[in-house]
């Protein structure tokens, strides 16, 4: 049997580089709670992303939950979002006592369909949470226009978009705030981790207090906050990985280009096109299979890959508005494009060190299922 290929593989610095970075922790015995490494990574990210403020978290999900909580939105307020995403996006809204209102995605880059947003706005709408899915940027200009017109704040789920820029501006700079995930599976990882990026100075102390039980000072607890702090070992991993970010993205670009050279123009397979004015991060490689034209369903492709020891994933199936935990609450028929894509999409293995031979092995299995045109 050929070597197993997983959908992704964490990029890690050299062992010695990481050991060197954490050595000081044995001397200081300071392991968490806004330590030296945490502050160093925060500053490095503010500089790299060109954003006024970065607040670090132990994971991306709690970052998103925290920023939504920090906005003091009205109880049961409606938040416009998309269902073609990871569980975290929808759950962060629901867990804040808010009501997700699902907007469909567009069929080109799978981000929110901006033509449909205004129709969903009611007097209860209090925010918009769009997703830069796969690292494809939402139409940030149009979304901001709508947000300004209705006086709504936009929080981007930018979990996939670290390193992406639009017209030279980093994804961290759009909307009221953006959340990045630094999970092990991401382009940039801190083992687990995440961040909120924003420009509103009044949020800095609030988010820092909220991620630390709401403790403002030893004798003042001003929010019923949880614990979402990034620790020193996570921050040290981030400091190391940040040094290699350009190399990471370049290697991913090469893998992506090789996939494209094998799968582009195959009838029945749709690939995402590079977006205008966007510098990509090559976070994921989604392929959408049309059974009629291709000759096999997405599930058949996924199974054939599995039979060959290749682990592709159905990101994002099922849609969040069809999750068991929301049974009977939402109608996925109202987001038909998302439903259509979620039943046909497969994200193929992608990571910096995925070899050309491995990409060929994956493409050979896929193309072996292709019916004659």
What kind and span of H or E run contains 25?
A: helix 15-28
Binding positions for ligand T4K, 96-155, rule CB under 6 A: 131
DSSP state of 185: T
Binding mask 264-303 for ligand T4K (x = CB under 6 A): ----------------------------------------
The question of whether 186 is a catalytic residue gets the answer yes
Is-contact 336 271, C-beta < 8 A? no
- Minimum CB distance to ligand T4K, residue 8 (Å): 4
Q: Which stretch binds ligand T4K (CB under 6 A): 46-54, 105-113, 176-184, 331-339?
A: 176-184
* Contact status: 6 vs ligand T4K (CB under 6 A): yes
Q: Considering beta carbons, is residue 234 or 266 the nearer one to ligand T4K?
A: 234
Q: Which stretch binds ligand T4K (CB under 6 A): 24-32, 181-189, 212-220, 259-267?
A: 181-189
Picking from 288, 270, 292, the residue whose alpha carbon sits closest to that of residue 371 is: 292
Q: Which stretch binds ligand T4K (CB under 6 A): 122-130, 157-165, 166-174, 260-268?
A: 157-165
* Contact status: 194 vs ligand T4K (CB under 6 A): yes
Q: For residue 36, what are the CA distances in angstroms to 29, 40, 107, 239?
A: 11, 6, 45, 11
- Phi-psi category of residue 309: left, alpha or beta, with phi > 0 → left and psi -120 to 50 → alpha: left
**How many CA within 13 A on the CB side of residue 42?**
21
Cα–Cα distance for residue pair 65/57, rounded to 1 Å: 11
The number of residues making up the chain comes to: 373
Q: Looking at 45, 56, 159, 173, which residue binds ligand T4K (CB under 6 A)?
A: 159
What are the φ/ψ torsions at residue 125 (nearest 5 degrees)? -65, 130
**How many CA within 13 A on the CB side of residue 125?**
22
Q: Considering beta carbons, is residue 184 or 304 the nearer one to ligand T4K?
A: 184
Is-contact 96 68, C-beta < 8 A? yes
Catalytic residue from among 37, 186, 211, 229: 186
Q: Looking at 5, 7, 103, 143, which residue binds ligand T4K (CB under 6 A)?
A: 7
Q: Which stretch binds ligand T4K (CB under 6 A): 82-90, 213-221, 251-259, 355-363?
A: 82-90
- Minimum CB distance to ligand T4K, residue 192 (Å): 6
DSSP state of 32: S
Is-contact 362 263, C-beta < 8 A? no
* Contact status: 157 vs ligand T4K (CB under 6 A): yes
Q: Looking at 114, 178, 181, 321, which residue binds ligand T4K (CB under 6 A)?
A: 181
* Contact status: 10 vs ligand T4K (CB under 6 A): yes
CB count in 10 Å sphere of residue 26: 7
* Contact status: 12 vs ligand T4K (CB under 6 A): no
Residues 6+ apart with CB under 8 A from 338: 82, 83, 84, 102, 104, 105, 110, 319, 332
Cα–Cα distance for residue pair 80/85, rounded to 1 Å: 13
Q: By CB under 6 A, how many residues form the interface with ligand T4K?
A: 23
Q: Considering beta carbons, is residue 162 or 330 the nearer one to ligand T4K?
A: 162
CB count in 10 Å sphere of residue 256: 22
Binding mask 28-67 for ligand T4K (x = CB under 6 A): -------------------------------xxx------
Task: Give the residue numbers annotated as catalytic, written as ranges.
Answer: 186
Binding site for ligand T4K (CB under 6 A): 6-10, 59-61, 85-86, 88-89, 131, 157, 159-160, 181, 183-185, 194, 311, 315
């Amino acid at each position: 049997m050929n070597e197993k290929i997983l959908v992704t593989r964490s990029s890690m610095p050299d062992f010695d580089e990481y050991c060197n970075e954490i050595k000081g922790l044995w001397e200081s015995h300071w392991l968490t709670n806004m330590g030296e490494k945490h502050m160093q990574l925060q500053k490095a990210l503010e500089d790299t992303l060109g954003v006024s403020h970065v607040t670090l978290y132990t994971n991306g999900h709690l970052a998103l939950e925290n920023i939504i909580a920090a906005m003091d939105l009205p109880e049961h307020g409606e938040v416009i979002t998309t269902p073609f995403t990871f569980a975290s996006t929808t759950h962060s809204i629901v867990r804040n006592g808010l009501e997700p209102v699902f907007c469909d995605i567009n069929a080109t880059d799978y981000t929110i369909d901006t033509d449909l947003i205004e129709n969903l706005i009611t007097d209860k709408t209090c925010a918009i949470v769009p997703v830069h899915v796969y690292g494809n940027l939402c139409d940030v200009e149009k979304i901001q226009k709508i947000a300004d017109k209705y006086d709504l704040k936009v929080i981007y789920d930018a979990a996939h978009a670290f390193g992406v820029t639009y017209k030279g501006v980093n994804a961290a700079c759009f909307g009221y705030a953006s959340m990045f995930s630094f999970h092990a599976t991401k382009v940039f990882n801190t083992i687990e981790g995440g961040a909120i990026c924003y420009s509103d100075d009044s949020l800095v102390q609030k988010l820092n207090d909220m991620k630390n039980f709401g403790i403002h000072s030893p004798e003042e607890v001003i929010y019923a906050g949880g614990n979402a702090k990034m620790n020193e070992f996570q921050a040290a991993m981030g400091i190391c990985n940040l040094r290699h970010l350009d190399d990471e993205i370049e290697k991913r670009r090469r893998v992506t280009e090789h996939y494209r050279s094998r799968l582009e123009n195959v009838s029945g397979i749709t690939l995402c096109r590079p977006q205008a004015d966007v510098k990509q991060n090559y976070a994921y490689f989604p392929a959408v299979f049309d059974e009629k034209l291709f000759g096999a369903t997405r599930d058949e492709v996924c199974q054939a890959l599995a039979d060959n020891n290749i682990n592709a994933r159905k990101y994002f199936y099922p849609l969040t508005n069809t999750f068991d935990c929301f049974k009977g609450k939402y109608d996925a028929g109202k987001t038909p494009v998302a439903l259509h894509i979620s039943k046909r999409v497969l994200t193929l293995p992608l990571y910096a060190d995925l070899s050309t031979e491995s990409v060929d092995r994956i493409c050979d299995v896929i193309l072996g299922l292709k019916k004659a045109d």
